[in-house]
Structure 1
Amino acid sequence: MGGTAVAEDDAQQHGPRRAGLRPRNVVLLAVGIVIVIAVALLNVIHVPVAILRPGPVQNIFGEINGKPVLQISGAKTYPTSGTLDFTTVSMAGGPQYPVSVMEWIGAKFDHDAEIDPASMWFQSGVSGKQVQQQNTSEMTDAQQTAKVVALRASGLKVPEVIKVAMVADNAASGKLLKVGDVIVSINKTAIDRLDTVAQVMGKVKPGAKVAMVVSRNGEDVRLSVPTADNSGRAVFGIGITPSYTFPAKVNLNVGDVGGPSAGTMLSLAIYDKLTPGSLTGGKKFAGTGTISEDGVVGPIGGLRQKLAGARSAGAQYFLAPASDCSQAKGHVPAGLTVIKISSFGQAVSVVKKVAAGQTTGLPGC
């Protein structure tokens, strides 16, 4: 009994024994903590790059969120078949979606990802909101131009006037021209198209005065307007914008897609709906490219990613701006035929050829 009492007193005096961490476990715990901190830092520290990946691909004859992408009223329309897809790029980087070190490392192992300096895609000092506003504005302009090109190509008339949208503070024209003026003529040449202004002004010597007639508040005003030299071109120091009277209502629902690169494919889809027969002949086309009022197909970015996205979506043929063909070298997915185009008219022509089974001799990248 005495021995038992001593044992109890000893336990009460020194307390229960504690098992300490072994040195190996201490090292493992420290390493784990370092790894957690490192991963957290890799997700917080940003890299000044932009990462491009394939984005969503949309059939213009399909729907977005249950609503048709393309609807036309006020003009006769025709059934279509096949697909005319516009392609997009998913981009991380810039003020809206800065790239973390972890994302940057992951992109290096992604075959479809392209890593560029952020300065290639974003201007310094521009906010995320400003980037979004610019993208939205560019898409709005692209839709309007696509409508004009397609409607005119289908044989419908789209009257147009050119308005003064902005007058620079130091404009050579001074206060002669005002915002809202409709330009009726320049040097006796009637102005009824946006490209006519460039054609006429291309013949004017910088510094010379130009005879202009503008419509202001419903009255014609005759002016002699001085010009200035801008890199060898005669300019007034104003901004102009076209205003159209559309013969039919064309509604486009493109979701939250921004930028101008869907212009060419939108114009083709509108044209297809307005003309007899299926333009594609049931084939699956995708593509990209800006479109100007005179039908010129312009350059875009991210062609490599758009090719990958198009093929994943099932496209057989891809319409690419001729000016961007170099981007396609070595990046054309198996089963996808890339056709280079430089104008709306050429795009219509090659699509018709493919639809008719003429798949040889097409201009490729």
Structure 2
Amino acid sequence: MGGSAALLMLTLAVMAVLPLPWMIRAPGPTLDTLGMVDGEHVITVSGADTYPTGEGQLRLTTVSVSGGPGRSISLFDAISAWLRKDAAVLPRELLYPEDQDPEQLSEYQVQQMSASQEFATAAALSELGYQLDMTLTVAELMPELPAAEVLEVGDVVTAITPAGGGTTELRDFGQLIGVLAELPAGTDVTLRVLRDDVPTDVTFATSPRPEGDPGEGSLLGVWMNTEVDQFPVDIAFDIDQIGGPSAGMMFAIAIVDRLTPGELTGGADIAGSGTMSIDGRVGPIGGIQQKLYGASRDGATWFLVPQGNCAETIGQVPDGMGIAAVETLEGAVEAVEAIAAGETGGITSCEAFVASQG
């Protein structure tokens, strides 16, 4: 009996220190996008009038990850995390595929952060009424869809004409999305493209949106690279040690606040997380549950949640925190304005949004 007990204790001791193929995701730091770091504004604006933003905060949120490449966790670490409401134990391959080099992943996350800042700038300036001229380039084809038969990677799309409709000259991505939103899948469209600087017309049928995509209309069926030709206002970001695209929404709201008179937050401490597309759509992110707890820890009383993450928040909202489900930059700004005015009755919560989806 004594030998068996000793063997069991030895086995448990070995298991406790053996590295496990799991990772722990926990609340990370938050950062006020309206604030300053080391005496410098997190977001610096030049080329346009800026306005005081008051005492309120617009906090981006992050997660802390243990157990990445070269940083294995033990069984004791995993058990401790399992017992915490604000942490999650997940398979390592969810974030760190075995065939992906850690340095390449880190570089990719930096690139995502840079892209999120550019998209946030474009979305915010568009929301404020600036006209942004954009170049729309075919970046990748989907072989199974009709567009792949006539378009080529590198084609620059300059105009679209639906069958039986008028021609829209495309100055920005929003115009293209607006036209497609009115077209059922299978509608023939003619695109005018520049192919090796030569104007060319191609015609094909639009494709359906993926299952679960709440957008209206149809899609071209290609991946587009969208670049702003020149920003009318210079926006710079002083962000270190944070990667990925999930701060895009909070960057965009902060830019809107800096460039409009008055205090958008009304003194409230508001946090959030969500990607931002160049045309102002808010996308889902990872680690929403941990970000909620990190925001609550740092004093936020409201959290802006992408509609695509709402189901993950049910039963996971810290006490005393209000939730606003948002789909677009316009909707996010309206939610912040409602919080500032104390008129939150019209804000859609995640519980209400999930219930509305059946």
Which residue of 2 is the match for residue 221 of structure 1?
Answer: 199
Partners of 1:288 and 1:318 lie apart in 2 by: 8
Check 1:262–1:234 CA distance in 2 against 1; reply closer, same or farther (3 A cut): closer
Match status 1:283 vs 2:268? yes
Partners of 1:101 and 1:91 lie apart in 2 by: 16
Match of 1:156 among 115, 126, 130: 130
Equivalence map 1:81-230=2 (5 Å): 81=54, 82-95=56-69, 97-166=71-140, 180-187=154-161, 188-197=167-176, 203=183, 211-215=190-194, 219-224=197-202
Aligned residues of 2:140 and 2:153 also touching (Cα < 8 A) = yes
Which residue of 1 is the match for residue 336 of structure 2?
Answer: 351
Check 1:239–1:96 CA distance in 2 against 1; reply closer, same or farther (3 A cut): farther
Q: How far does the alpha carbon of each residue in 1:38-67 deviate from its partner, in whole angstroms, 9 at most, with x for none? A: 6576334223x2321000000012233553
Check 1:259–1:201 CA distance in 2 against 1; reply closer, same or farther (3 A cut): same
For structure 2, which runs of at least 5 residues remain unmatched after alignment?
A: 162-166, 211-216, 351-358
Secondary structure of 1:192's match?
coil
Check 1:227–1:278 CA distance in 2 against 1; reply closer, same or farther (3 A cut): same
Aligned residues of 2:31 and 2:60 also touching (Cα < 8 A) = yes
> What TM-score, normalized to structure 1?
0.77
Aligned residues of 1:227 and 1:234 also touching (Cα < 8 A) = no
Q: CA deviation at 1:317?
A: 1.4
Structure whose CA Rg is larger: 1
Structure 1 window deviating more from structure 2 (252-261 vs 143-152): it is 252-261
Which residue of 2 is the match for residue 242 of structure 1?
Answer: 226
Which residue of 1 is the match for residue 285 of structure 2?
Answer: 300
RMSD: 3.6
Q: CA deviation at 1:146?
A: 0.8
Check 1:276–1:204 CA distance in 2 against 1; reply closer, same or farther (3 A cut): same
For structure 1, which runs of at least 5 residues remain unmatched after alignment?
A: 1-26
Aligned residues of 2:209 and 2:219 also touching (Cα < 8 A) = no
Match status 1:360 vs 2:345? yes
Secondary structure of 1:78's match?
coil
Q: How far does the alpha carbon of each residue in 1:320-343 deviate from its partner, in whole angstroms, 9 at most, with x for none? A: 122322222222222322222222
Secondary structure of 2:202's match?
strand
Structure 1 window deviating more from structure 2 (311-320 vs 224-233): it is 224-233
Check 1:122–1:84 CA distance in 2 against 1; reply closer, same or farther (3 A cut): same
Match status 1:53 vs 2:35? no
Aligned residues of 1:172 and 1:235 also touching (Cα < 8 A) = no
- % of aligned pairs identical? 32
Equivalence map 1:259-270=2 (5 Å): 259-270=244-255
Match of 1:80 among 53, 66, 70: 53
